[in-house]
Amino acid sequence: MNLFKKKEKKECCCHQINQENIERAEELKKEAGIKILGSGCKKCEKLEESVKKAVAELDLNLTITHITDFGQIASYGVMSTPALVLNGEVVSFGKVLSVDEVKHILSVKMEG
């Protein structure tokens, strides 16, 4: 029954979501470029591969970042991965896009 025992710090039930990660995620959202949101599974890697090919074929100069931190992913409001973020805007989530689909999205979003 240890009434006077020092209180132990317990990890948050969501493991990674804390104020520091939320603030970092908000900073990342403001950065231009492409972000792949996902745990690093095969689907996420496949999407990243498609994005890299599409960017190369369109001869775009965009930074591609893969975010695996669930706190940062959640800050985008994404509940199913992989997700594709372009200049802070979620443009696809929950599926692996083909190279042609990524090229179409990039063409439309970069024009407007």
**Residue 12 annotated among the catalytic residues of the structure:** no
Cα dist from 42 to 1, 16, 46, 82, whole Å: 47, 22, 6, 10
Q: What is the pLDDT of residue 71?
A: 84
Q: What is the pLDDT of residue 1?
A: 58
Q: What is the pLDDT of residue 72?
A: 86
Q: What is the pLDDT of residue 8?
A: 59
Q: What is the pLDDT of residue 41?
A: 92
The closest alpha carbon to 78, from 100, 110, 47, 111, belongs to: 47
CATH code for the domain in which residue 58 is found: 3.40.30.10
Q: What is the pLDDT of residue 31?
A: 74
Query: Domain range spanning residue 98?
Result: 19-111
Residue 8, domain member (yes or no) = no
**Residue 14 annotated among the catalytic residues of the structure:** no
Catalytic residue among 12, 13, 14, 41: 41
Residue 13, domain member (yes or no) = no
Please give the angle made by the CA atoms of 43, 87 and 69, to the nearest 5 degrees: 45
Structure tokens of 85? 């973020």
- Ranges of residues in the chain with a pLDDT under 50 are none
Residue 28, domain member (yes or no) = yes
Edge to edge, what strands does the sheet with 64-67 contain?
Answer: 64-67, 34-37, 83-86, 89-93
The helix (run of H) or strand (run of E) holding residue 91 is strand 89-93
Cα dist from 93 to 5, 10, 43, 52, 88, whole Å: 46, 32, 11, 17, 14
Catalytic residue among 12, 13, 14, 44: 44
Residue 1, domain member (yes or no) = no
Residue 12, domain member (yes or no) = no
